[in-house]
Each structure stands twice: as structure tokens, then as C-alpha cells.
């Protein structure tokens, strides 16, 4: 029956969401979730292109970008999207950037280069300028369950918003491949230990759930779409047709995966060569 097939198909997505909730519940009850506090600006974490505009202009990791063309990047999680928007809006003309480095304000001029589609980039990865306050565990199990539910829902929301924004703007610069993901996990384990690693596992689990739910053949969401088509049509799709659709989709997904691995390796090999 179609309803039983739907339950089987969605089992993976549901399992990822359940794992996310348990990870968040474990963090809330044992270590507590830190509150994120923001400071003005965005932080340059790494370079995506060692021959790119920012690298050649003398930017360095841990530089804090405070202003772009006179526009102040105020404290808050919107600072990152504001910085990206300002760089894209340059349309390739040189922009003035005020950065803070080791307590000193430095003025830089950098000319973004065109990337895929209408996007312009300076060849860096940026993150919000934030720090986390002390963790306070929640001892009340009902409140802990509520907080875990809220945090899990928030993770789903920001993951979905980030993915849809990347697709709509065709800006995939901040989407990480598997190698970069492993590197981030290793850094979290080294710097903040088990709590951050468990939270990182929750983030990975949410990403898997969201991506797997997309209506793309080869993914669970695509299987649900085929099942819906069969239900509307009133008869099952021919096995050969479904296999062909899924086979082509899987081939495309594998190609995307390989390209993301290659993209992760390019900065590593570039730094070795330099």
C-alpha cells in the first residue's frame, strides 16, 4: 500500500530528526547550550582562492571586516548576509573595506571578481563576529525537552533558509564539501571538546534530513514525489522508467559530490605548493 511505502521512504528523514533532538536534549541537560552574543563586523575565517582578490590585497585570516564602502556591519547575525550582499552589489568595481587586525584599523581596497551567475566574490569565507557565553545545563526535564525541540526546529529552519538562499542566488561558495565538514568537526573537537562535537553531529543530522527531503529523484523526497505521482495517476510506474530516473539522478548527485571534494582539496594543495 502507498501509505506503508511512504512510511518506509520517510523513515530515514524521521530518524535524522529524532537523532537531532536527542543530541540537543543531551547537550541541554548535561552541558547546556551557550547563548550566542554578537559584536560588530564579520570575521574572515579562510580563503577560498589563494589567487583571489582578498589574498592579493593583503587580507589575513581572523581579520574583522567592520565596514564595506562606508556601510557599517552592525552586531548581529544579519551582519554576514549584509557583507555578502555588499560584495555582490559591487558588480566588480573596487570596494573600500575597513578591517580590524590586532587592535588596529586598516583600510583596504579590493576588487571582487565574478563567480557563477551574477555573483561577485573576494575569495574568502566569512562568519559572524560572535562569541558564546557560559553554558548552563537545564535540570528540569520538561523544560529541557522544550528547549531541545525549539533548538532542533531552529536548526531545521536555518538549514532550509540557507539552502534555498544558495539555490535562488546561485551562490554556493559557503556550501561545504565532505572534507571541509570533517575539518570543521576536528577543529570543534579540539577547541571545545565533546559538547560542541555533539552539537555538530546534530547540525550534520539536520542537513542530511533537509537535503534528503528535497524532491529530487534518488533522494527520499524524490521517491515520495514518484509515489505521489503514482497515487494521482492510479497505477504504478513501470520499473524500468523509475530505475532510469533514479539512476540518472544518482549519477548527477555523485558528480556533485566529487566536484565538492575537488573544491575542498584545491585550497589544501594550493597552500602546499605555496
All residue ranges of the chain with pLDDT < 50 are: none
Residue whose C-alpha cell reads 539522478 in the numeric block: 249
pLDDT digits 0-9 by tens, 191-216: 566 777 787 888 888 888 888 888 88
pLDDT of residue 21: 94
pLDDT digits 0-9 by tens, 23-61: 999 989 987 877 778 899 999 988 888 888 999 999 999
pLDDT of residue 219: 80
Distances in whole angstroms, Cα of residue 36 to Cα of each of 2, 151, 232:
44, 13, 47
> C-alpha cell of 178?
565532505
Rounded to two decimals, the pTM is 0.57
Contact 47, 110 (CB under 8 A): no
Contact 66, 72 (CB under 8 A): yes
> C-alpha cell of 150?
525549539
Residue whose C-alpha cell reads 556550501 in the numeric block: 175
Strands (E), the chain: 36-47, 64-68, 71-72, 95-101, 104-110, 113-114, 120-121, 124-132
23 by Cβ neighbours in 10 Å (0-12 / 13-18 / 19+) ranks as buried
Closest CA to 3 of 242, 220, 223, 227: 227
Amino acid at each position: 500500500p502507498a501509505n506503508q511505502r511512504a512510511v518506509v521512504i520517510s523513515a530515514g528523514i524521521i530518524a535524522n530528526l529524532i537523532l537531532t533532538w536527542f543530541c540537543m536534549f543531551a547537550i541541554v541537560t548535561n552541558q547546556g547550550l551557550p547563548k550566542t552574543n554578537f559584536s560588530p563586523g564579520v570575521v574572515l575565517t579562510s580563503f577560498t582562492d589563494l589567487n583571489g582578490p582578498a589574498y592579493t590585497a593583503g587580507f589575513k585570516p581572523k581579520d574583522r571586516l567592520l565596514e564595506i564602502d562606508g556601510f557599517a556591519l552592525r552586531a548581529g547575525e544579519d551582519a554576514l548576509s549584509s557583507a555578502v550582499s555588499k560584495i555582490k552589489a559591487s558588480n566588480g568595481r573596487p570596494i573600500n573595506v575597513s578591517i580590524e587586525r590586532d587592535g588596529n584599523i586598516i583600510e583596504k581596497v579590493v576588487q571582487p571578481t565574478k563567480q557563477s551567475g551574477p555573483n561577485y566574490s573576494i575569495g574568502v569565507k566569512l562568519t559572524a563576529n560572535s562569541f558564546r557565553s557560559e553554558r548552563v545545563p537545564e535540570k528540569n526535564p520538561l523544560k529541557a525537552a522544550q528547549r531541545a525541540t525549539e533548538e532542533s526546529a531552529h536548526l531545521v529552519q536555518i538549514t532550509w533558509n540557507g539552502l534555498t538562499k544558495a539555490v535562488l542566488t546561485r551562490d554556493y561558495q559557503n556550501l561545504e564539501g565532505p572534507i571541509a565538514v570533517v575539518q570543521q568537526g576536528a577543529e570543534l573537537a579540539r577547541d571545545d571538546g565533546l559538547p560542541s562535537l555533539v552539537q555538530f553531529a546534530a547540525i550534520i543530522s539536520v542537513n542530511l534530513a533537509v537535503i534528503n527531503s528535497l524532491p529530487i529523484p534518488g533522494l527520499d523526497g524524490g521517491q515520495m514525489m514518484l509515489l505521489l505521482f503514482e497515487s494521482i495517476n492510479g497505477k504504478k510506474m513501470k520499473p524500468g522508467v523509475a530505475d532510469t530516473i533514479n539512476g540518472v539522478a544518482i549519477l548527477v548527485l555523485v558528480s556533485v559530490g566529487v566536484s565538492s571534494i575537488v573544491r575542498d582539496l584545491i585550497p589544501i594543495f594550493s597552500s602546499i605548493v605555496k
